[in-house]
Structure 1
Amino acid sequence: MCLPKTESPIDAHFDATFADALATYETYNKHHYRPNTYLHKWWGRRCGSTFRLILKGLVEDETSQSYYAGGGLAGKIILDPMMGGGTTLHEAIRLGASVIGVDVDPIPVLQARATLTRRPLAALQAGFDEFFAGLAEASGDLSRTHCPTCDEALPLWYALYGLRRRCECGEVLVVDSLIMRHEPNGTTLRWCPECGLLRNGGVHQCASGGVRIVEKGQRDCLQCRRPYQELTDTPFYARYVMLAVAGHCPDHGLFHKSPDWRDHAVQARANDRRATLALPVEAFRVVAGDKSIQLENRNVFNYLDLFSSRQLIFLDEAIRRLPDGDPIVRLNLGLLVSTSLEFNSMLCGYKGVNKRRAGAVRHTFAHHGYSFPYTALENNPLYPRRASGTLQKLFYSRIIRGRRWAAAPVERVLDGAKPAFVPVPNEQDVGLEVSTAAELSLEPRRFLLLQSSSVVLPIETASIDAVVTDPPYFDSIQYGDLSAFFRVWLRQLLPGAADWGYDQTAAAVSSERASSSDGHYVASMTTIFRECCRVLRPDGGRLIFTFHHWQPRAWAALTIALYQAGFSLVNRYTVHAEHPMSVHINNMRALTHDSILVMAARPSDEASRWARPATHDHHDSYRFTESCATFLGWVLEQPNLSAAHIEQLWNAALNGKEDDKSGVSG
């Protein structure tokens, strides 16, 4: 049974203006502001600065309540029952709290363990150096090219490919643009449409035996007038033909060139070696979900087909060469290899055409789903320079930089025109892992990680000070489905590190439950919220989370779950969320604000405090988000509502109906 609430600092105050200002900056480059949280790819992370402010709202000591003051939550236990990217855990542990993180997917659990566990940088660096050297020795000869000026053998940086298509006249290669690159000196590298060779102005004589190239906008052959067809009967990686290679010569600098006979010979050797690999093919089978169905629609039924032969050989070697000594070093390196796949698959596109370019690789999940490039980029993960998506670059940015920041976190100050950061005293983004909830209170900064659903938690009743989370939306992107792209490899890299055979339908949002998504979501969230209510302390325990959505169905589903779990709204604050320049929401009807909802167990004698909003402004993200949160509070105060009544109320509110037919007045 939910117990009555008492006052908590965040009940009355939250500096939404300050939070909004910080989040506006952080949204552009979250991984720069919180590098220790970003070892592995995950989706839908919220701004760490916002969650720091939320947690600061739980600090009782006034001298520690400032955003820039260190600590303040020593002795407190914070739970995130749907931890995803781990933002709550990292922010709470910095403030001295002990934390519990729960997720059904193993990737969030492994990432939190790797990044929150203290390890000397020297140990991580030594492990990486040995690992990288072994990989380079085993497969580096397959990623070599030659300088077009001096003919010196050099590491391949990346290769560009065109997509094979056919018509009645034969095959063509389709690219995004015939222009490959605008050079700094004003010249333009472009592919010849008649033979496929790269040319840089001047007189060009087509090579014999070349291949025709067309841009993606040309869908029909100009000769036979028939549409080009993709070679869907061919393995995905073999649907592409190499058109350019890039490298860097110490004497002549960066170069791009058409592949010569040696480049093709190396690729042929890699293809031959691919056939000898002992990777368990069945373990990489695509299981169709809301997002992975996009693969099956292109006749891709196995994740192995998404990688070039060179990339596959690299992964096979990585599985066998991960160090066995320190399990945390092994975990970090296994996650590093896995997250590198986002930049090292044949789903990567090329974005290096423009003069002002931030790297050449358009990563696999640039659009929060599977997209299939015309100009594909085969990256070399073993390229020795710190280039985009290479192991060297990722190790530095995700591990070295992340751990340095974790040892001495900094926060942005808003004074002045130039970005400035200040150290936060007495904080660290590391802790000590424990195996039971009872051990959390023994000292600050302990963490418990559970790979499970939060419908039943191994936590004592009334033992948690606050639940701070970012719950999934009932129609949100299927992160569990997308993460299978990494999970099939992590299962081979780190077979004993997690329960890889877990029940994916246990997630509140599940591809396997799509046919009854609303009902499953409400049932799951109701049970989770009831568990949150059970474990929260009666003396000021709070459930705090962020939420936004346009649709009444989403708000109704959330409201039903909270209502049935016995929560009421204490306060709500509206802050900046995702910036519309984010690739996955640009040109979409996306809200740019979050509601921070502060909930408490609903007492039996609660007085009404929320007035029903008269209108909801669908043209203003801030006003819409704020009014929806207010309406949520009002609905939760109404007695004896059924799920159907709650749905009717939300439909009436957001669809503009005057008669809600619910029998509830304002």
Structure 2
Amino acid sequence: MTSVVPAQTSLESTFPAAMLSAVGTKESWRKEVHRPATSTHKWWAKRLGTVFRGILTSAVTPEGDDAASAYGSAVNLAGAVVLDPFSGSGVTGVEVLKLGGRAVCFDINPVATLVQRQAMQPWDMQALTTAYAAVEAACREEVDRLHQTEDGRTVLYYFWVATVECPDCSDRVRLFDSPVFSKNAYPKRVPKAQIVCPECLAVQESRYDFETATCPNGHAITQRGAVRGQVATCRHGHSFKTLSALNGSRPDYEMYAKMVANRDGSKVYEAITDWDRDLYDECVELLAGWPDTAVLPRGELARGNNTDQALKWNFRQWRDFFNARQLVSLSMIATAIRDLPGPAAEREALCALFSGTLEFNNLFTSFKGEGTGAVRHMFSHHILKPERTPLEAHPWGTPQSSGAFSTLYKSRLQRAHEYKAEPADLVDDGTDINRVTGLSEPLAATIADSWDSFSATTVQAAYVAAKNSADTDLPEASVDLVITDPPYMDNVHYAELADFFHAWLQEMQPYEGYAQTPTTRRVGEVQHADPAEFGKAIEAVWAECARVLKPGGLLAFTFHQARISGWVQVVESLRRSGFVVTAVQPVKGEMTTSIVKAGAREPSNLDSVVVCRRAVDGATNPNRSTEEALATAQKGLAALRDAGVDVGAGDIRSVVRGSLLAYFASVGTSLDDAVTTQVDDLATGTITALLAAA
């Protein structure tokens, strides 16, 4: 059986990159609003649903037809089978189902599989509401009691500071870098701030830019805290590296302030009292006698690119990431969810919701300030970065809370349910970009766990499984399209970060067959800092994709990579597995701004959509020379730049590398150092020319 893919597609020739970049940019500002089905839980490098809808519709639109119009119409994939071998948060699967296709979504990580299942399967909202109420009845009263003041008001947030002992004089040093612990997100507009006395922990109102102040107990306060970078200074003037003072132990933490919800709805900052300390000590005692049958995180951190910083601070076990009150409170919620009758999709949804709540309730979170969501989640840096001044939030929460179980229930599960029932797509009508309903089918997929059960299902179905995509049970020539976003060669190692969630989920068993292994790290993971190992692992997946593709089928994936070695390995692995690159299309990437991008030397705004066909099907690269390949890349980049899309040096470098390396691979040229040097020289020249013309 041949594929539904045309012999020549708009994806390879007239891809509407500028239009998709425009709608993608709008989506990127609020993914959780525009694509809530894939936003019920954290996953990294989540791609844009608008762009993947565009890839899918362009892949079934013949060359010469209007691919932009196809994107904004009710295209139907007519049951075509689409495989995503690196499914992540399930973006491909969701867009396939919305377009009437049948989705096969594999990811080697079980946490990703949980996220995908939430994105595609329906929930009975009456059953979900009943289950939520049962969890609330089981634990909320006690969680609330552990987060209250002496007069019964709710504490929304406790502020903590790490402390170490000076190696020279044993002085206890509070690791503040500034006494300003709360200010507005726009301080020049709203200069009011809260400051703490580093000496006695008195709290008072001031300005974010104050120069000197005196606390109620007479201590002088300046803008400078005890910490500058990696160096701390004690009250006696001894300076030392913070890490050297830990002596093999995790830092101690001390409460210094709290934000309280008054009965009239106002919020107030207050200093910590003996009541607060006694209440926390009660949590320490409770945890010491906590029943063995209750859910608590288990497992130890292993060395890794994204875990080493936490290990340097002596966080050894996953339970070290939480203080005693967090462990007690979160354990009560998790245990109540685990003990719900099941298995059922609604219980599974609450497991995923709880897991997502963990991101905002641990010792690696911090306070963002007034005028914005209060809690800065732990993965804002894509590494497990310890916080010297962590924020402890009320994990069940109130309507005034940020990142709490109750508030995320509304903003994630309820919003996702509404979207599944009536999906909306962002469409550019030529004058504005609007949300349009009626273009997509509702999401109500039956989740299959094998090819046999999937192929036997006649209703909307998705085969979703945690497995190595290099070794599947898919029959030969069973897939029309492979659409995916493979992992980076390096940088963000998903399994190392996903273990933070897995430490709890393995105890909760969200769905039947969820992994019971102590870690989500797996043999066969594609991510690897060694380019050769990365190339070997991804080649195995491409080879399997080539086996299961129907004659005339198409593989397309989004990619960007700062190191040219990553591009070399991707292109070489495609060639070795029997694929030929037929197009490299630049388009808007995952997000517009982030802390990670702000710190990058050449921040990326674009992805390359790499389109491939099998050599056995007669595929050829369309470029006939180095000059033509370079001109093709330049033309695509210039078109985006002229359409107002932000195109930076890193984007140009990555797209030119992909286009040129794909051409060289197609003519059998070895991608050795001489070729990569030539490619980078041409990329540098293109950067100069395109940016000068901007």
Relative to the length of structure 1, the TM-score reads: 0.88
- Aligned in 2, Cα 1:597/1:228: closer, same or farther, shift over 3 Å? closer
Match among 362, 368, 375 for residue 382 of structure 2: 368
2:166 is equivalent to residue 194 of structure 1: no
2:33 counterpart residue number: 32
Spell out the pairing of 1:253-268 with structure 2 (5 A cutoff).
Answer: 253-268=266-281
Which residue of 2 is the match for residue 334 of structure 1?
A: 351
User: Take 2:190 and 2:667, find their aligned partners in 1: how far apart are those partners?
Assistant: 69
Q: Is the 8 A contact 2:161 2:174 kept in 1?
A: yes
Deviation of 1:629 after TM superposition, in Å, equals 2.9
- What do the CA deviations read for 1:574-607 (whole angstroms, capped 9, x no partner)? 1121455211121202322111111100148666
Q: What do the CA deviations read for 1:499-543 (whole angstroms, capped 9, x no partner)?
A: 232773434335xx65xx2222111111111111111110x3100
Provide the residue aligned with 1:232 in structure 2.
246
Counterparts of 1:128 and 1:63 in 2: how far apart (Å)? 47
Q: Distance in 1 between matches of 2:584 and 2:196?
A: 56
Q: Distance in 2 between matches of 1:470 and 1:226?
A: 47
Question: 2:540 — aligned with what?
Answer: 527
> Structure 1 pair 299/67, CA: closer, same or farther in 2 (3 Å)?
same
**2:435 paired residue among 413, 421, 427:** 421
Counterpart AA for 2:81: I
- C-alpha separation between the residues in 2 aligned to 1:603 and 1:302? 50
Q: Which amino acid in structure 2 is aligned with residue 79 of structure 1?
A: L
Give yes or no for contact 1:196–1:213 (8 Å, CA) kept in 2.
Answer: no
Q: 1:570 to 1:141 in 2, by over 3 A?
A: same
- Aligned residue in 2 for 1:95: 99
Q: Kindly provide the CA deviation profile for residues 454-474 of structure 1, in whole angstroms up to 9, marking residues without a partner as x.
A: 112111111101000001122
Q: In 2, Cα distance between the equivalents of 1:302 and 1:620?
A: 41
Counterpart for residue 599 of structure 1: 612
- Give yes or no for contact 2:300–2:317 (8 Å, CA) kept in 1: yes
User: 2:506 is matched by which residue type in structure 1?
Assistant: R
What SS does structure 1 have at the residue aligned with 2:158? Answer: strand
Displacement of 1:557 after TM fit?
Answer: 0.4
Shift of the alpha carbon at 1:169?
5.6
Aligned to 2:85: 81
Instruction: Write the distance in 1 (CA, Å) between the matches of 2:443 and 2:430.
Output: 27
Residues 134 and 342 (structure 1), Cα distance of their counterparts in 2 relative to 1, 3 Å cut: same
Cα distance in 2 for partners of 1:52, 1:252 equals 43
Shift of 1:213: 9.6
Conserved 8 A contact 1:106-1:500? no
Q: Do the aligned residues in 2 keep the contact of 1:577 with 1:592 (CA within 8 Å)?
A: yes
Residue number in structure 1 paired with 2:305: 290
Give, in whole Å, the separation in 1 of the partners of 2:607 and 2:91: 15
Match for 2:349: what amino acid?
Answer: N
Comparing 126-135 with 98-107, greater Cα deviation is found at 126-135
User: Which residue of structure 2 lines up, in the alignment, with residue 627 of structure 1?
Assistant: 656
2:596 corresponds to 1:581? no
Q: Which moved more, 1:272-281 or 1:306-315?
A: 272-281
SS where residue 255 of structure 1 aligns?
A: strand
Q: Secondary structure at the match of 1:241?
A: strand
* Mapped partners of 1:260, 1:401: distance in 2: 39
Please state how far the C-alpha of 1:389 moved relative to its aligned partner.
0.8
**Residues 123 and 21 of structure 1, relative CA distance in 2, 3 Å threshold:** same
Q: Deviations over 1:155-203 (max 9, x none)?
A: 2211001111222161121224212334798644211233111023697
Tell me which residue corresponds to 1:560.
572
- Going from structure 1 to structure 2, the CA distance change for 1:53 and 1:138 (only over 3 Å counts) comes to same
1:602-631 Cα offsets, whole Å, 9 max, x none, are 148666631444569997345434322321
Q: CA deviation at 1:392?
A: 1.1
**Stretch of structure 1 that moved more, 424-433 or 396-405:** 424-433
Report the alpha carbon displacement of residue 39 of structure 1 after superposing the two structures with TM. Answer: 1.3
Change (3 A) 1:471 1:177: same
The letter of the residue matching 1:158 is Y
Distance 1:265 1:612, change over 3 A: farther
Partners of 2:36 and 2:163 in 1: CA distance: 39
> Which of residues 460, 469, 476 is equivalent to 1:454?
469
Structure 2 counterpart of 1:166: 165
Matching residue within 218, 227, 251 for 1:216: 227
CA distance in 2, matches of 1:131, 1:295: 32
Q: Which residue of 2 aligns with 1:55?
A: 56
Structure 2: state its 5+ residue gaps.
207-212, 635-646, 684-694
The CA distance in 2 between the partners of 1:13 and 1:192, in whole Å, is 62
**1:121-175 CA distance string (max 9 Å, x none):** 22212211221231213433211125xxxxx412221100111122216112122
Opposite residue 672 of structure 2, the aligned amino acid is E
CA–CA distance in structure 2, aligned partners of residues 477 and 182 of structure 1:
31
Relative to the length of structure 2, the TM-score reads: 0.85
Matches within 5 A, 1:428-507: 428-438=442-452, 439-440=454-455, 442-443=457-458, 445-494=460-509, 496-501=512-517, 504-507=521-524
- Give 1:153's aligned residue: 152
Inter-partner Cα distance in structure 2 for 1:9 and 1:417: 23
Select which of 276, 283, 288 maps to 1:275: 288
Q: Distance in 2 between matches of 1:509 and 1:46?
A: 18
- Tell me which residue corresponds to 2:141: 137
Residue in 1 that maps onto 2:640: none
Q: In the TM superposition, what are the counterparts of 1:323-402 in structure 2 within 5 Å?
A: 323-352=340-369, 357-385=371-399, 387-402=401-416
Change (3 A) 1:579 1:82: closer
Verify the 8 A CA contact 1:104 1:453 in the aligned structure 2: yes
Read off the aligned partner of 2:361 and give its amino acid letter. N
Q: Match of 1:409?
A: 423
1:20 aligned onto 2:45: no
Q: Helix, strand or coil: the match of 1:206?
A: coil
Contact 2:175 2:232 in 1 (8 A): no
- Name the counterpart of 1:661: none
- Post-superposition shift, 1:416? 8.8
Q: Residue 662 of structure 1 corresponds to which residue in structure 2?
A: none
| C-alpha separation in 2, matches of 1:215 and 1:70 | 60
* 1:287 CA displacement: 1.8
Q: CA deviation at 1:412?
A: 2.6
Q: Specify the code of the residue in structure 1 equivalent to 2:155.
A: L
1:615-662 Cα shifts (integer Å, max 9, x gaps): 6999734543432232133123213x5xxx22336423344399xxxx
Which residue does the alignment assign to 1:663?
Answer: none
Change (3 A) 1:649 1:469: farther
Identical pairs, percent: 23
Give the deviation of 1:436 after TM superposition. Answer: 3.2
Is residue 67 from structure 1 mapped to residue 54 from structure 2 by the alignment?
no
Which shifted more, 624-633 or 560-569?
Answer: 624-633
2:325 corresponds to: 310
Q: Secondary structure at the match of 1:421?
A: strand
Identify which range, 646-655 or 461-470, moves more after superposition: 646-655
Q: CA deviation at 1:250?
A: 2.2
Structure 1: stretches of 5+ with no match in the other structure: 147-151, 659-666
8 A Cα contact 1:283 1:488, kept in partner: yes
In 2 relative to 1, CA 620–207 (structure 1 residues): closer, same or farther, beyond 3 Å?
closer
Can you list the C-alpha shifts for 1:319-357, whole angstroms capped at 9, x where unaligned? 3211123521111111111111110001111221xx5x3
2:432 and 2:57 mapped to 1: Cα distance?
A: 26
Aligned length: 637
The answer to whether the 8 A contact 2:401-2:407 is kept is: yes
CA distance in 1: counterparts of 2:430 and 2:648, whole angstroms: 33
